[in-house]
């Protein structure tokens, strides 16, 4: 290990002192990937990445993916995706409001969900805007054997309409997003045998289960995962970059005002394993 690492919580989060000059060094990239695997959320405090540097870091850790560009008619979405409620932003407001609720990135489009997401703080809100992360890997591991057995084989339909349920009706989002849906296993088993829950605000139905039972189960799993032992709240400083293992962690933002000016830059690393 060459990087200086401070563990934030036993189940989730580590602070890594990374110098921008180290980006692209293969040994450093390998170390970051191993740390990501172990800690699920990596905080690079005040690293101050430019867009070009954020893309270079993204490319150093895997294959770049832009889930925003997977939405039909959105192939031109910028490689560095700006998450903001600012006037004139390219992103739909309803979608940003949807980030106030626990979710994983890229569960409703037709490519494997990103292996990891990177988010840089460009401008902070005066109030709110902290990002919370919760590990669905540790949350799954802590379930009883009986609970694990009950989840075995269940599948979940994820839709964008479900993710904006608390924000607006389906008419509040454009037709292309309204049509987006994808089915995933409730429990994802990776090739290395580790398992995580694939849940969040996009989770809509469990085929073969009645709606009330399905929604109650999904809500209980969300509550279970969000408990303090499995979650970490990041208080942003301008220039911070956070990398998280996307299919192992839920994330959401603490609500902030529409006119707060908050501006975050997101990039993604392609999923190498389909959720199976
Ligand atoms: Fe997100």
CA of 66 to the centre of ligand 1 (A): 12
- Tell me the two tokens of residue 220: 């209980």
22 C-alpha vs ligand 1 centroid, how far in Å?
Answer: 26
For residue 257 the two structure tokens come to: 């005002």
Q: What is the pLDDT of residue 276?
A: 63
Q: Taking residues 239-247, report their average pLDDT.
A: 97
- Compute, in angstroms, the gap from residue 2 CA to the centroid of ligand 1: 30
Which CB contacts under 8 angstroms, 24+ apart, belong to 68-71? 70/106, 70/109, 70/110, 70/111, 71/109, 71/176, 71/177, 71/180
| Cα-to-centroid distance, 214 and ligand 1 (Å) | 23
pLDDT value, residue 17: 97
What's the whole-number mean pLDDT along residues 270-276? 77
Query: Higher model confidence: residue 196 or residue 273?
Result: 196
* Residues pairing with 252 in the sheet: 132
146 Cα: distance to centroid of ligand 1 (angstroms): 31
HSE of 195 in the Cβ direction (CA atoms, 13 Å)? 15
The CATH number of domain 4-269, selected from 3.40.50.150, 3.40.47.10, 3.40.50.80, 3.60.130.10 = 3.60.130.10
Q: What's the 234 CA to ligand 1 centre distance in angstroms? A: 14
Ligand 1 centroid to Cα of residue 248, in Å, is 13
Q: How far apart are CA 185 and CA 198, in angstroms?
A: 7
Task: List the domain boundaries for the chain.
Answer: 4-269
CA of 210 to the centre of ligand 1 (A): 28
Distance from residue 193's CA to the centre of ligand 1 (Å): 25
How many angstroms is it from 145 CA to the middle of ligand 1?
30
CA 69–ligand 1 middle distance (angstroms): 14
Q: Report d(CA 159, CA 129) in Å as an integer.
A: 25
pLDDT in tens, 29-50: 999 999 999 999 999 999 999 9
pLDDT per position as a tens digit, 166-220: 888 788 888 878 888 899 999 999 888 999 999 999 999 999 999 999 999 999 9
Mean pLDDT of the chain: 93
Distance in Å, CA 156 to ligand 1 centroid: 19
Q: Which residue has the higher pLDDT, 192 or 151?
A: 151
Structure confidence at residue 166 (pLDDT): 86
Distance 252 CA to ligand 1 centre (A): 7
């Amino acid at each position: 290990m060459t990087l200086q690492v401070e563990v934030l919580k036993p189940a989730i989060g580590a602070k890594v002192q990374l110098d921008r000059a180290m980006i692209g060094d293969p040994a450093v990239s390998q170390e970051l990937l191993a740390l990501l695997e172990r800690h699920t959320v990596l905080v690079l405090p005040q690293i101050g990445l430019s867009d070009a540097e954020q893309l270079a870091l993204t490319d150093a850790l895997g294959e770049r993916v832009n889930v925003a560009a997977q939405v039909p008619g959105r192939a031109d979405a910028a490689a560095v995706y700006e998450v903001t409620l600012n006037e004139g932003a390219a992103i739909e407001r309803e979608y940003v409001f949807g980030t106030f609720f626990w979710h994983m990135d890229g569960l409703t489009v037709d490519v494997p969900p990103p292996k990891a997401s990177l988010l840089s703080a460009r401008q902070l809100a005066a109030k709110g805007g902290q990002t919370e992360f919760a590990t669905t890997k540790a949350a799954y591991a802590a379930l009883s054997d009986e609970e694990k057995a009950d989840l075995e084989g269940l599948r979940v339909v994820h839709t964008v309409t479900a993710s904006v349920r608390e924000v607006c009706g389906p008419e509040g989002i454009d037709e292309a997003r309204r049509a987006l849906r994808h089915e995933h296993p409730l429990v994802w088993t990776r090739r290395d045998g580790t398992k995580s829950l694939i849940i969040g605000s996009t989770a809509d139905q469990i085929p073969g289960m009645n709606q009330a039972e399905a929604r109650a189960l999904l809500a209980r799993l969300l509550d279970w995962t969000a408990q303090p032992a499995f979650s970490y709240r990041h208080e942003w400083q301008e220039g911070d970059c956070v990398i998280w293992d996307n299919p192992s962690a839920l994330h959401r933002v603490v609500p902030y005002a529409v006119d707060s000016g908050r501006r975050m830059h997101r990039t993604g690393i392609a999923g190498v394993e389909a959720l199976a």
